[in-house]
Chains A and B, each alone.
Chain A
Amino acid sequence: MLKEIFNLTLLQHTIRTATPIILAALGGLLTQHTGMLNIGMEGMILLGAFFGVLGSYFFGSSLMGVLLASLVGVIIGLIFAIFVVELKSDEFIVAIAINMFASGLTVFLLRSIFGVKGAFSSPDIVPLPRVNFSFLENVNFLDKIFNNHSIFVYISWILVALIYIYLYKTPQGIWLRASGEYPEALLTAGVSAKKMKYKSSIYCGVLCGFAGAHLSLGYLTLFSENMSANRGFIAVAAIIFGKANPIMTFIAALMFGFFDALGIRLQVVGVPSQFTQMIPYIATIVALFIVTNRQLQKHKKSKGERELA
């Protein structure tokens, strides 16, 4: 039975299921660095998934699907930033509104445009291209794990590196991080923290748009109601677990993808998948506990030392 669960297919599934989480988490960690935690990623992914299908179906091109999904991401990211930065609204409440809006609007449009309930699939939806590296074909396990994935799988890996470089090696990235941590310092440098917050929120929207388009055009070729299925929240979990570092967040997302894939494999052999599905959520709480507990201990220690002195 173990052989049936732990095999190459499991790793292949891990990569597939982790991708939307990676993409969204990369976006979310950018807003996290500017001091905004975006729970609205769940809704952004869902909108991306819907508009990806819409674009692909009507224009007969998956690229148009991705473009439309990103455009909607930009709009929602902009709305999020306007409310949080400009109107100083509570970020959680704005995010909850976005999630509510997304699940209402997508079902509404699903029914009024496509006239179906539940899910829409059609041969006219053009899926995203799959990528095959011929040099990997010779080695069986590399071929099985890394070949023949939808294009966003590879894009997400490239983005991890790019965003790492952007955040830690470019002035823009330093500004972006400073806008959350030291907005006053940024002001003295003549850079607007507001502007960086807007930027991060728009990037987050685009990346969640990618995540959604990958779900509905890469992972599957259809749209179904609430197909984001908590991936936005798991992305939040990955960000917290990875302390908003792109590489650590990537690893956390892969890990959560692994447990998701494991759950699916377990279900095949008749073991309840609910417990493996719970892992990201519980892991997040445990991670938060460990991180803050350590900080509290440190705080206490330094306080004690000061008192001794």
Chain B
Amino acid sequence: MREAMKKINLSYIISLALSIFVALIIGALIMLINGKSPFIGYSALFSGAFGSKYNLATTFAKTVPLVLTGLGTAISFRSGIFNIGGEGQLYLGAFAAAYIGITFTSLPFFIGIPLAIIFGALVGGLYAFLPGILKVKYKIDEVITTIMLNTVAVLFTSFLVNYPFATTQGKMNGTEIIAQSYHLRRLVKLSTLNTSIFFMSFIAIVIYYLMEKTSIGYDFKMVGQNRMFARYGGINDKKQMLIAMVISGALCGMAGVFEVLGVHYRFLQSISPGYAWDGMLASLMAKNNPVGVVLMAIFLGALKTGSVSMENATSIPSELVMVIQAIIVLFIAGEAGFKDKFVLLNIKRKSKKAGETNA
């Protein structure tokens, strides 16, 4: 979506719905080929995501990292700088929070928790600053650098939890458990839903205001849509891109923080199953619109949660959902192109008709 950064309009919502619909149909076909009923499969998926208090809570628990990484992606994409490094920023942010939680064990919760969140955001933001400065100062493609930095972060934290910070309680590729005062309270029995959803909601509202209601947000949009024009309008485009990148990294870092404080209570070597990628998907689907990102994050969270129930009910492997997601991404990537082709086809047909009537 680097070129086509159009606003969401009715025609886009129709294309998005169509993309999701076609992807679900393909999913249904795959189920049929496997000799399973798509009807049973999808109803199990739906009730698995929304059917009970526990399921609903699990869906929302999954939504927390997706909203944060999704908004992080959205803010960078909208400013015309493409942070694909959310996964790495998430890992470092998560480790940073765990570090605070195992080091300053005697801090009361009202100091410790904000400290962990801020430190995680800071580390994530700094890690995004690096590809940001390389982009604006040296014109090095940030997509490549952020992809490379993802792996560097995953490997670095893997080193940390296997050597200097390895837990002494058995071999589990994780740090020690963070102090009790850092644990965010669980909200629904058995589910991992915790108070981080309130933090997330607060952050989402702030980001919404920043992106939609402030002059900074307007500058981001200007830079993203037309750098030259923004520059002539007196906006320091390089500075704006850097700021957007750092905020983006901070949001992804915070996604990691809440996984540690609310879900695992320690840093684990593979703490994220690709949250930042799903967050990016939410942002792509919503065309970087903050409200849309939240809605799409809930949708994707529901798909992920429901897929587990689908697997239990019908023994259709839950990875089917990943295939469906990939098809949605592909359709959205091709959306503008499909439309252009369609318009062209229509013009051709019309001009052909006009030619015929003239003759």
Whether chains A and B associate is yes
Residues of A that sit less than 8 Å from B by CB: 37, 39, 79, 83, 86-90, 92-94, 96-98, 100-101, 103-105, 107-108, 111-112, 230, 233, 236-237, 240, 272, 274-275, 277-278, 281-282, 284-285, 288-289, 292-293, 296
Which chain A residue has the least Cβ–Cβ distance from B130? Answer: A285
Complex Cα–Cα for A200 and B134 (A): 30
User: What's the least CB distance linking A271 to chain B, in Å?
Assistant: 10
Is the CB of B329 closer than 8 A to any CB of chain A? yes
Q: Among the listed B140, B156, B337, which residue makes an inter-chain contact with A88, where contact means beta carbons less than 8 Å apart?
A: B337
Binds A, one of B193-201, B289-297, B316-324: B316-324
Residues of B within 8 A of A39 (CB): 143, 147
Q: Are B336 and A233 in contact (CB under 8 A)?
A: no
Which chain B residue has the least Cβ–Cβ distance from A90? Answer: B2
Complex Cα–Cα for A100 and B341 (A): 26
User: What's the least CB distance linking B4 to chain A, in Å?
Assistant: 9
Residues of A within 8 A of B338 (CB): 87
Residues of A within 8 A of B325 (CB): 100, 104
Binds A, one of B49-57, B158-166, B178-186: B158-166
User: What's the least CB distance linking B38 to chain A, in Å?
Assistant: 14
Is the CB of B94 closer than 8 A to any CB of chain A? no
Residues of A within 8 A of B334 (CB): 83, 87, 89, 94
Which chain B residue has the least Cβ–Cβ distance from A263? Answer: B155
Number of interface residues of B (CB under 8 A): 50
Q: Are A94 and B140 in contact (CB under 8 A)?
A: no
> Per DSSP, are chain B's interface residues mostly helix, strand or loop, or mixed?
helix
Chosen A-B contacts, 15 in total, with CB atoms closer than 8 Å, are A86-B337, A87-B336, A87-B338, A93-B333, A94-B330, A96-B329, A100-B281, A112-B34, A275-B155, A285-B140, A288-B140, A289-B134, A289-B140, A292-B138, A292-B139
A-B contact number at CB 8 A:
137
Residues of B that sit less than 8 Å from A by CB: 1-3, 30, 34, 82, 84, 134, 138-141, 143-145, 147-149, 151-152, 155-156, 158-159, 162-163, 277, 280-281, 284, 316-317, 319-323, 325-327, 329-330, 332-334, 336-338, 340-341
Residues of B within 8 A of A288 (CB): 134, 140-141, 144-145
User: What's the least CB distance linking A29 to chain B, in Å?
Assistant: 15
Name, among A86, A100, A277, A288, the residue most crowded by chain B CB atoms within 10 Å (CB to CB).
A100
Which chain A residue has the least Cβ–Cβ distance from B320? Answer: A108
Complex Cα–Cα for A240 and B323 (A): 30
Complex Cα–Cα for A37 and B139 (A): 16
Q: Are A293 and B155 in contact (CB under 8 A)?
A: no
> Per DSSP, are chain A's interface residues mostly helix, strand or loop, or mixed?
helix
Which chain B residue has the least Cβ–Cβ distance from A236? Answer: B144
Name, among B84, B326, B338, B340, the residue most crowded by chain A CB atoms within 10 Å (CB to CB).
B326
Known: A88-B336, A108-B323, A112-B34. A281 touches B148 (CB 8 A): yes
Q: Are A93 and B148 in contact (CB under 8 A)?
A: no
Complex Cα–Cα for A93 and B159 (A): 30
User: What's the least CB distance linking A233 to chain B, in Å?
Assistant: 6
Complex Cα–Cα for A288 and B143 (A): 12
Residues of B within 8 A of A87 (CB): 333-334, 336-338, 340-341
Q: Among the listed B147, B151, B329, which residue makes an inter-chain contact with A93, where contact means beta carbons less than 8 Å apart?
A: B329
Q: Are A92 and B148 in contact (CB under 8 A)?
A: no
Q: Are A93 and B1 in contact (CB under 8 A)?
A: yes
Complex Cα–Cα for A86 and B337 (A): 8
Q: Among the listed A98, A104, A282, which residue makes an inter-chain contact with B319, where contact means beta carbons less than 8 Å apart?
A: A104
Residues of B within 8 A of A230 (CB): 151
Which chain A residue has the least Cβ–Cβ distance from B337? Answer: A87
Q: Are B317 and A107 in contact (CB under 8 A)?
A: yes
Q: Are B143 and A92 in contact (CB under 8 A)?
A: yes
Q: Among the listed A88, A103, A105, A272, which residue makes an inter-chain contact with B159, where contact means beta carbons less than 8 Å apart?
A: A272
Q: Are A285 and B145 in contact (CB under 8 A)?
A: yes
Q: Are B337 and A89 in contact (CB under 8 A)?
A: yes
Q: Among the listed A98, A272, A293, which residue makes an inter-chain contact with B326, where contact means beta carbons less than 8 Å apart?
A: A98
Residues of B within 8 A of A101 (CB): 322-323, 326-327, 330
Q: Are B1 and A281 in contact (CB under 8 A)?
A: no
Residues of A within 8 A of B333 (CB): 83, 87, 89-90, 93-94, 97
Complex Cα–Cα for A93 and B334 (A): 10
Which chain B residue has the least Cβ–Cβ distance from A282? Answer: B152
Q: Are A107 and B148 in contact (CB under 8 A)?
A: no
Q: Are A281 and B319 in contact (CB under 8 A)?
A: no
Name, among A89, A236, A289, the residue most crowded by chain B CB atoms within 10 Å (CB to CB).
A89
